Amino acid sequence: MEKTSNLLNQSNSINELSGQNPGKRLCIYIGESDRWRGKPLDTAILETLKSLGLAGATVFRGTSGFGAHSHIRTSSIEVLSVDLPILIEAVDTPERIQTGLNAISPMMNEGLITLEDVTIVKYTHRYLNPLPADRMVGEVMTTEVVSLTETLSIREAWEKMIQNELKALPVIDSCGRVTGILTDEDLLERAGIRQRLSVTLQLTNTSIQEDLKELDTSNLRVKDVMTHPVLTIKRSDSLGFAVSKMVQAGLKRLPVVDDTGCLVGMLSRLDILKQVADSPASNLHSHLPAGIAKTVEDIMRVDIPAVHMNEKLPSIVNKFAGSNTHRLLVIDGSGKAAGLIADSDVVARVQPEYHHGILKALRNFGKPPAGRETASDIMSPGVTAISPDTPITDAVRLMLEEGRKWLVVTDKNEKPIGIVDRRALLEAVSSLH
């Protein structure tokens, strides 16, 4: 069949159509001479589906065929027909397809409609991706990589993480091949360390050495607690493929290997977002179909973990322990964002005698100490605020320029209505969210 038209809807959301989601395919078979209210029926159906918010529809013109009247219609010169067969095809969520079906069924005096299940793998727009997906991973990756060997003791591995301030390190065998990855979360869950790396770095040197000394009694090796098997990416793979792999697995980083499986680099979210920030600025987002994720309002998190600036230490620690977050937004008396508190700030900015109790409470192993410090005392003052209509690429650039992990989305009264982090931005630019 000859493809004659493809209309992309202007009010559909990509996140409902990508990522192995169930969908429906609607096929409508009509004749070229069929009409509705004075216009060709295929045009009327397209306009109806578009107005109802479907993702898109395509019209195909057949070269020959027959239908209910058993008349063969053909485009051959010898038997030229003025009523060639037409196929209209639309794919969308089951709910929107049903809405479209209900609307177009009364428009057809004759013809055929079929409906079938499909799996929607990806739906995107050509102008949506600022990601240079065709670049090779080897051009983008970090090449200076700190690694661990499988036989290192837990104490040696943790000390190396602390010294290099890296919370995830690839693990290699004697030939340099990647066999796993070790994170501070692995050590928390399987090796008995007391806190994440960012919190550890805020402790006194004496406290850090005491924790390391406790690990001397462990017989565990890196190979006993590392995450394995581990997802890797080849340096010759495309950046687009690597991002898809990272987003689908919910990972922050991937070890990069050569054709023999040997470690040659690491690819992180930050490496990828830098490529987006370096891409040429474009105003094409203003012409994108409405509903496609193009501004931070489309991707922001609206359930903001927050505390009031007058809340005291026990309440703050309990918020961290109960909300599964490493950061809290601090709200002032007027409802505006006054600053941010990281869980590491709670350790760094209170009296050392409270550290042990705080660390236990953060892991839900006890009640927080009754300190007098308030959120105002502990927070890092100021936030990087953006408006909800900020383009995603501009948000990426601002996040990197300011060195932030969170951007706070505020309304016209400067009150917070959402937050955006690196994960949300990566998913947005990958078109796989």
Residue 1's alpha-carbon distances to 84, 208, 264, 266, 304, in angstroms, are 11, 70, 48, 47, 51
Q: Is residue 130 part of a domain?
A: no
pLDDT value of position 43: 94
Residue type, 91: V
**Which domain does 46 fall in, by range?**
2-120
Q: Domain check: are 210 and 316 in the same one?
A: no
List, as one string, the DSSP characters of 189-207. HHT--SS-HHHHTTS-HHH
Same domain, 205 and 174: yes
What does the pLDDT read at residue 55? 84
Q: What is the pLDDT of residues 181-224, one digit of tens each?
A: 999 999 999 998 888 999 999 888 998 999 899 999 999 999 99
What integer pLDDT is reported at residue 366 of this predicted model?
A: 82
Q: What's residue 9's pLDDT?
A: 39
Domain boundary among 53, 86, 120: 120
Q: How many helices (H) and strands (E) does the chain have?
A: 16, 22
User: What is the reported pLDDT for 11?
Assistant: 35
Residue 145 and residue 240 in one domain: yes
Write the CATH number for 38.
3.30.70.120
Q: Could you tell me if residue 89 is inside a domain?
A: yes
* 264 CB neighbour count, 10 Å cutoff: 18
Does residue 128 lie in a domain region?
A: no
Statement to judge: residues 143 and 104 lie in one domain = no
Q: How far apart are the first and last CA of the chain?
A: 33
384 found inside a domain: yes
Tell whether 256 and 330 lie within a shared domain.
Answer: no
pTM for this predicted structure:
0.71
Do 268 and 351 fall into the same domain? no
Q: What is the CATH number of the domain that holds 407?
A: 3.10.580.10
Residue 132 located in a structural domain:
no
127 in any annotated domain: no
Does 321 lie in the same domain as 263? no
Does residue 407 form part of some domain?
Answer: yes
Q: Are both 141 and 273 inside the same structural domain?
A: yes
Contact predicate 311/375, CB 8 Å: yes
- Give yes or no: residues 331 and 380 share one domain: yes
Residue 286 lies in a domain: no
Domain boundary among 92, 120, 148: 120
Specify whether 329 is located in the same domain as 390: yes
Residues 156 and 214 in one domain: yes
Query: Same domain for 304 and 419?
Result: yes
Q: Return the pLDDT at 56.
A: 87
Q: What are phi and psi of 230, to 5 degrees?
A: -115, 140
Residue spans of the chain under pLDDT 50 = 1-15, 70, 77-79, 127, 283-284, 286-287, 289-291, 432-433
- The total of structural domains in the chain comes to 3
